[in-house]
Amino acid sequence: MRCGYMKKSTYLINTIVASLAASGPVVADKLDVASTFATSNLLGQMGVKFADNVEIATGGDVKLKLHEPGDLVPTLEVFDAVSSGAIDAGWDWMGYWSSVVPVAQFYGGLPFGPTSEVSASWMWSGGGIDIIQREYAKHNVMVLPCFIEPQETAGWYRDEITGPDSFNGMKIRMSGLGAKVLTKLGASTQLVPGSETYLALERGRVDAADFAIPTVDEALGFYEVAKYNYFPGWHQSASWFSFIINKDVWDGYSDKRKAQFELACQATIQYTLNRLPAEQTEVIERMEKKGTITKRLPDDVINSLELAWGEILNEELKKPIVKEMYESLQTHQAKIMKWNELQNLK
């Protein structure tokens, strides 16, 4: 039944996209998009997928050219460049901009949060998009969350984790709210660009690294320089990646054109929800054959991480925008949980 639903959902999206494409403008509109991820891995490839969907939705009238990291502006300056109008648009991980839009770190990865399916439902049907867009608009940026990554691994570690004390003094590549949690357990965290993470592990600049899901981690070769791959991904139960566009450019589009962008965005989300969950098991098994040891974090470690997160969350909830976002997400999740309980067969 679930597979039938997904096929029907994809069919409906494609039908609507095709109908909207039927009467677009004659002149092609080309936008330069600065990607924060290389198109050689999944995170950048999803930007290409979105660009392809935009071209389909608009009947070829809008073409997005995805530029590799650093080609147009330095990776971590993409948001500012889009805001100022120096570049048209960007493809990013939303958590990168938490220093400018603090609530974005909750969209980038919420520790001990809901599944990607619940997050996607909340984003587009529960008010999540309205809250984050209101904050981005203050910086003259329009945001379309177009790719949701499933729960990540807990990271790659050169040494075994035996208890909460294992983190004390450890150097870990991690960003966002998860980094704040590990800092409470004594770790030293740093944001190393994805392209430099392999070398950082290999040369001992860091002792461990979190980056993404197994599909991405395998492509980057982390299994070659770190023996242990830990689960569960407590720090990022779902991660949002997005297309950002200068708001002046966005406001110049017709309502129909904006709808075409949004449908292309949601088609990209549906594609990732269809493809990625089952694929991860295959990738993990492949890496295990190459020597990776897949392990679950000890229960006392998970408990310590959750307690530390509770302390951080209580502080963050003192900020009105964080409180609004978190309560909105919790309310939406409760509705879905109630529905699931009613449908539970056992």
Calculate the alpha carbon distances from 132 to 89, 97, 136 in Å.
17, 12, 6
Provide the b/e sequence for 2-25 (b: ≥16 CB within 10 Å): eeeeeeeeeeebbebbeebbeebe
pLDDT at 175: 86
Please give the chain's pLDDT, 346 residues, in tens.
434 444 445 555 555 455 544 444 334 589 999 999 999 999 999 999 999 999 999 999 999 999 999 999 999 999 999 999 999 999 999 999 999 999 999 999 999 999 999 999 999 999 999 999 999 999 999 999 999 999 999 999 999 999 999 999 999 999 889 999 999 999 999 888 777 899 999 999 999 999 999 999 999 999 999 999 999 999 998 899 999 999 999 999 999 999 999 999 999 999 999 999 899 999 999 999 999 999 999 999 999 999 999 999 999 999 999 999 999 999 999 999 999 999 999 8
> What's this model's pTM, rounded to 2 decimal places?
0.86
Centre a 10 Å sphere on the Cβ of residue 40 and count the other Cβ atoms it contains. 12
Domains and CATH numbers, the chain: 2-151+237-279 (3.40.190.170), 155-234+287-318 (3.40.190.10)
Using CA of residue 275, residue 192, residue 295, residue 226, what is the dihedral sign? positive
Sequence-distant (≥ 6) Cβ neighbours of residue 53 within 8 angstroms: 17, 264, 265, 267, 268
CB 33 within 8 A of CB 247: no
Which pLDDT score, from 0 to 100, does residue 270 have? 94
